[in-house]
């Protein structure tokens, strides 16, 4: 684990909402002023591979990510108005990975729920 990687991870920890790589670059530069974008992209790829980061869609052509613990298998709920994120248990229940459906052996799945968080549900706010 290098100094740069630590900065990116710390920057990711700082977000309570979904963020783009650009957001992450800006945040990482607070602690590592000279960090290059290639390095951040590489850190993102590594973290995504390790389950520390998860893609939850895109906004204006840029990927949106969510900081995620590497613990239990679970999924995410993203507020389409403010980007707020909630971690929610896997709704598949008994139909877990490696089970069979329609003749397929299911090895993985991608689930993201979208909606409005409590704060945004109150106002008529809409974003992106």
Partner DNA sequence: CCTACTCGTGATAACCATTCTCACTTTGGA
Partner DNA sequence: TCCAAAGTGAGAATGGTTATCACGAGTAGG
With CB under 7 A as the contact rule, the residue among 14, 15, 17, 41 that binds DNA is 41
Sign (positive or negative) of CA dihedral 84, 86, 90, 91: negative
With CB under 5 A as the contact rule, the residue among 90, 106, 116, 125 that binds Zn ion is 90
Q: Kindly state whether residue 86 participates in binding a copy of itself, applying the rule CB under 8 A.
A: yes
Which of the stretches 38-46, 66-74, 77-85, 110-118 binds DNA when contact is defined by CB under 7 A? Answer: 38-46
Query: Residues 112, 54: contact at Cβ < 8 Å?
Result: no
Site for DNA in 46-85 (CB under 7 A): 46, 58, 60-63
SS (HEC) of 87-102:
EEECCCCCCCCCCEEC
Beta bridge partners of 85: 78
**Residues in contact with Zn ion by the rule CB under 5 A:** 90, 92
């Amino acid at each position: 684990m290098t100094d740069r990687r630590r900065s990116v991870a710390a920057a990711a920890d700082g977000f309570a909402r979904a963020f783009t790589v650009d957001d992450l670059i800006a945040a990482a530069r607070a602690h590592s002023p000279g960090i290059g974008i290639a390095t951040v992209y590489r850190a993102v790829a590594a973290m995504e591979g390790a389950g520390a980061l998860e893609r939850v869609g895109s906004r204006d052509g840029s990927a949106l990510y969510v900081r995620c613990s590497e613990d239990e298998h679970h999924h995410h709920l993203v507020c389409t108005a403010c980007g707020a994120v909630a971690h929610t248990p896997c709704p598949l229940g008994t139909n877990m990975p490696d089970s069979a459906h329609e003749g397929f052996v299911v090895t993985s799945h991608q689930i993201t729920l979208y909606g409005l968080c409590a704060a945004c549900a109150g106002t008529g706010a809409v974003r992106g």
